[in-house]
Amino acid sequence: MAISIPLKPHATARAFDESRTVVTLYDSDGEQADDGEVFNCEEEPHMLPAWITGGYFPLQPGEKLKSSGTEYEIVRKIGWGEGSSVWLASYKYSMDEVGYVALKMLTAGEPFAKGSEEDRSLKLRLVSKLNLVIHHGTAPVGSDCCVQTFESFVAGSKHGNHICLVTPPYGSSIDEFVRAGDRRILPFSPDTTKTFSRQTLLALSCIHSLGFVYTNVKASSIYMNLSDPQTTTQVLRDSPSLSYDPHMEPDISPDPMITVRSQPLTKFDSELQTMRVYLGDFEDGMLDQTAQKLATTATPLCPPDYILGHPWGTSFDVWCVGCFLLDAITGKRGKIFNLDSPAGMTHTEVHLARMEELLGPFPAAYLERCSKTREFLTRTGSLPAERERLEQAHLSGAELDRCEAFFRRCFQFDPELRVSAQDMLQDPWLAPESA
């Protein structure tokens, strides 16, 4: 998707995807260049100012960052997404021993990166709470399914200040793993889907017990376990850091622009059906009692209570789990609620119509409690029913019945009837004897 860089200060940029950024160049009068010149950035647009893209940290292998007590040296880029990039870094924990961590660098445009220590603590309150209970040995069940954060600090770049989160190095996210496999690994088997289900629900149960709503359950926030960390040095020898060819574009930067290639770590410790996975990206977790603020979930994953103006809380996450897992077991990656808009309909109207086509009509009593019901009354064409989707995933008999019942519990329209993550762990479909 294209991002325009006009010289007019009031102009805004459009959203970009997580694979390539295309920049349209403008002349000094704010008009597109006659030759239609464009600039292609292979990954995150680290060369663009914060007011356009948030301001990605322009790191290179060999650069060093210091926290209050540790110096980290960048050795490889693991990946990037909207709002952050993630880097593998080394550090010395003795004269002769080197360890590895992942550094998640949030963009400088993140408001809390510019604020006080108190502001940053508010932004990272879920991260801090998890660290506190783990450090004191009082962590709830499920904390071992959450990405651990060792420390956080602030580092500066030409774009401003960036919050840096230091974690163990994990493998690819499930989303990256699917992309790298050219989607041929989809759909996941029932056994693999159950493995991901149990661990994700355990992590959410832990988060909910600490009084937080996560709001960000998706394949790109669930990370796969690496094999023995001692193999990381060998991986770096066999597959050193790579960069794209330099770009020269004086209208953007007087210096050559070099983008480091994302190279996720892929030495996993087991087969998919027994894979350890970890829920991460906790910097946007919200306290349950203040969760009516804007959620960070992508639109296709949002439950109807958020869209229709119904009070919502931890059950928000259970709906998102259902979306992620139904994607996984059917292979309909991102297409459970297809938001292609017919003429005259907004994305939100289409989204609600798709929900009804897949799950049946909204209960009248539920709609009466929603403040925005009257805004969305349009209907559209039909979609395959939920059971048809599961049959296409090669489920049948009692396995199909239990699986359908599992998703029906996730996809309760009324959040007051949607069960908790803890209760979902007891669902018959996830019981070992149903495997």
Beta strands 64-66 and 71-81, pairing class: antiparallel
- At 129 the pLDDT is 81
Q: Give which of 336, 364, 363 is closest to 350, Cα–Cα.
A: 336
With 0-12 / 13-18 / 19 or more C-beta atoms within 10 angstroms meaning exposed / middle / buried, residue 30 is exposed
Residue 20's contacts (CB-CB under 8 Å, 6 or more residues apart) are: 40, 41, 42, 43
Residue 377 reports pLDDT greater than 60: no
Task: Identify the pLDDT of residue 379.
Answer: 37
Q: Tell me the pLDDT tens digit for each residue of 291-301.
A: 455 555 566 78
Task: Name which residue leads in pLDDT, 118 or 324.
Answer: 324
pLDDT value, residue 378: 37
Mean pLDDT in residue range 250-260: 85
Cα–Cα distance between 84 and 78 in angstroms, integer? 11
In this prediction, residue 277 carries a pLDDT of: 92
On the question of pLDDT at 265 being above 70, the answer is yes
Tell which wins on pLDDT, 77 or 301.
77
Q: Binding-site residues, please?
A: 104
Query: Which pLDDT score, from 0 to 100, does residue 228 have?
Result: 65
Between 17-26, 137-146, 404-413, the lowest mean confidence (pLDDT) is in: 17-26
Residue with tokens 């996941």: 188
**Per-residue confidence (pLDDT) for residue 269, from 0 to 100:** 58
Using the CB atoms, write b or e for 147-181: b if 16+ within 10 Å: bbbeebbebebebbbbbbbbbbbbbbbbbbbbbee
Task: Please give the pLDDT value at position 229.
Answer: 59
Which long-range contacts link 293-296 to residues 24+ away (Cβ below 8 Å)?
295/215, 296/215, 296/216
Asked whether 246 and 90 are in contact (CB, 8 A), the reply is no
53-169 folds as Phosphorylase Kinase; domain 1 (3.30.200)
212 vs 184, residue with greater confidence:
212
pLDDT reported for residue 396: 85
The per-residue pLDDT of the chain, averaged, comes to 79
Domain locations along the chain: 1-42, 53-169, 172-241+268-435
Alpha carbons within 13 A on the beta-carbon side of 398: 6
Helices (H) and strands (E) in the chain, counts: 14, 15
For the ranges 50-64, 301-315, 344-358, 396-410, the lowest mean pLDDT is seen at: 344-358
Residue 87: pLDDT above 80? yes
Identify the helix (H) or strand (E) that includes residue 154.
strand 151-157
Are the CB atoms for 67 and 162 separated by under 8 Å? no
Paired with 191 in beta bridges are none
Of 382, 330, 377, 391, nearest in space to 359 by CA: 382
Task: Note the pLDDT of residue 385.
Answer: 63
Asked if the model's pLDDT at residue 360 lies above 70, the reply is yes
Residue 426 has pLDDT above 90, yes or no: yes
pLDDT beyond 80 at 10:
no
Higher pLDDT, 398 or 35: 398
**pLDDT tens profile 133-178:** 877 777 788 999 999 889 889 999 999 989 899 999 988 888 888 8
DSSP state of 99: E
Question: Which overall architecture, per CATH, does domain 172-241+268-435 show?
Answer: Orthogonal Bundle (1.10)
Count how many Cα atoms sit within 13 Å of the Cα of residue 364 in the half-sphere of its side chain: 0
> Which residues sit in the known binding site for ATP?
104
Confirm if 38 and 59 have CB atoms less than 8 A apart. no
Report the pLDDT averaged over residues 253-272. Answer: 81
CB 139, CB 206: distance < 8 Å: yes
pLDDT of 388: 72
Question: What span, in angstroms and rounded, lies between the C-alpha atoms of 56 and 47?
Answer: 8
Of 15-19, 336-340, 395-399, the poorest mean pLDDT is in 15-19
Q: Which two tokens stand for residue 144?
A: 């071992």
Most confident region among 6-15, 261-270, 334-343, 351-360 by mean pLDDT: 351-360
Confidence (pLDDT) at 123: 62
Indicate if the pLDDT at residue 27 is higher than 70.
no
